[in-house]
Structure 1
Amino acid sequence: MFTDLPLDELRTYRPPLPEPPGFDAFWHRTLTEARTHELAASFTPVDPGLALLRCYDAEFSGFGGHRIRAWFLLPRAAAGPLPCVVQYLGYGGGRLLPHDWLLWPCAGYATLVMDTRGQSGPNRPGDTPDPVGYGNPGVPGKLTQGLLDPEDYYYRRLYTDAVRAVEAARGHEAVDAARVLVAGHSQGGGLALAMTGLVPGLAGALVDVPFLTHIRRAIDVTDAGPYGELTRYFAGARGHIDTALTTLDHFDGLNFAARATAPALFGTALRDAVVPPSTGFAAYHHYAGEKELQVWRYNAHEGGGGEQRAAELAFARKVLG
């Protein structure tokens, strides 16, 4: 069933920004601290049996200097420097294997697939631990880890990792640093959206059914996971709700969208109970750069699937060449 506002209301839905005091200073300080650690990006050749690609097991220093794993893939026959797609992952998954990421290198682009610290699953394995503990009691998952203080929140580390992933890609000799695009679905879409407000000079962004945007509304209109982690936490942590919501405001995609300059392609699905469509429309309407939106009326969290990927390929050709 449709899960949110009617489409005619969504097309004009533009709620106020949930910007906390000191938002820009918080992120400036966070990224300045991260850059006190050498990026020390490394690219070790591997042979996964893909004759048309050059594949590298990559590492770089993310938040706190913690080593973050990635795949770096290059079309073997292409001459560099190449445009590059930095790919972020959905919630609960890891970087998988090189053959799982053939779309962008087959289109002729360098591709860096960032592993997600502390996330993995039986069908989506990851390779990057999260060495930071968290103080407040939480529920299983990542959304409540460190939730009572923006300084300690899990997504402060993950967003910082994502910024450093762009820096690692830009520093590779095979990459044209002026032609880097960020991409992701769900949590990955939320990371891509955040990068548009944190990383200057991006060539573009692919923001598909973005998680972690317009968070206050999301937790009011869905109990589905992962947002359900927050509502379950709030049901027990009754005295901490306002503190936690203020933390979440520091990571809300609406605030990054309002600072964006790169062209972006969004995707949203009207039957999505995981990421309510009003949250994606809100991000789209606040997005300050050039933008396009694909709306999938009869799809859930999978969004437009292959049709969305086709639209992304066309968009990438337009902004990357």
Structure 2
Amino acid sequence: MATAVVAAAYGGPEVLSVVETQVPSPGPGEVTIAVRASGVNPIDYKLYSGAFGSSPDNLPVRLGLEVAGVITAVGPEAAGPAGPLSVGDEVVAYPIKGGYTSSVTVPANVVVPKPADLSWEQASGLLAVGATAVHAVAVAKVSSADTVLIHGGSGGVGLLAVQLSLAAGANVVATASERNQALLREVGAVPVTYGPGLLDRVTHAAPSGVNAAIDAVGTDEAIDVSLALVPEAIRVVSIAAFHRADTGIALIGNGPGADPGTEIRANAWRQLLPLAATGKLTLLPAKTYPLAEAARAHTFLREGHPNGKLVLLPAQ
């Protein structure tokens, strides 16, 4: 048996409950993982909020796309992208279903080794935002010849996109509130405050011009300023501004008409995990909650500004 968090109805965090559930034995190409940490993502609450539909046939909703943990059972012919998997392996799994749990059986093809130098909390919260950042940087075609504008540079996706762009040799200007600008300076970006006058501030910060932009916030301001600065609209990449599809920008992710980037995202771990393990990526701190307090974590995610990754910890 395992402890799991489910949404028994559609609504707010109050519909989340903790249940005991059977964990199926792994079949061919599957493994079972004893979960040490589960990453919390905005899409999790969208699944039970009704944003994606509210059919009672889909209840209860199992939540959680990414986990870090230890393999406890291996099915026949179970191998991950990095090779064979064994009981006792410390791993990260993404994307999965039902990760808010103490134990979960998942396809082996999304299970990769966890670096020993990466904590459970950081490992469980890296791949969802990280895969999006890798995808955005790739679609924007960021290179050492570029100056890149990144909107929402201090958020989960934005901060990784900033650092991946810097690692590619680009200059980076990134938007953030004043309280978060020190972090951007620390990693090597030039921070600017969003809001009225943003175009002038970016122009001043990048006098030689801007070649590409990555939008992690989805506001009209972010898109309008990007289009005013970037010569080619297709090098303006957004993970959220799906309502601006008619501008010719590149949309990525799960929204309407967006490029899902399936292959890029599936292989993003190869870049992200080694960089994080060696300290070459500055990761947002993780704020942890017991698994049983998932509703409290979701309330904070929806109403606050987490300034870090939220992670659920099953009782050990």
Query: Normalising to structure 2: TM-score of the pair?
Result: 0.27
Provide the TM-score with structure 1 as the length reference: 0.27
Structure whose alpha-carbon radius of gyration is higher: 2
Instruction: Name the one with the larger strand percent.
Output: 2
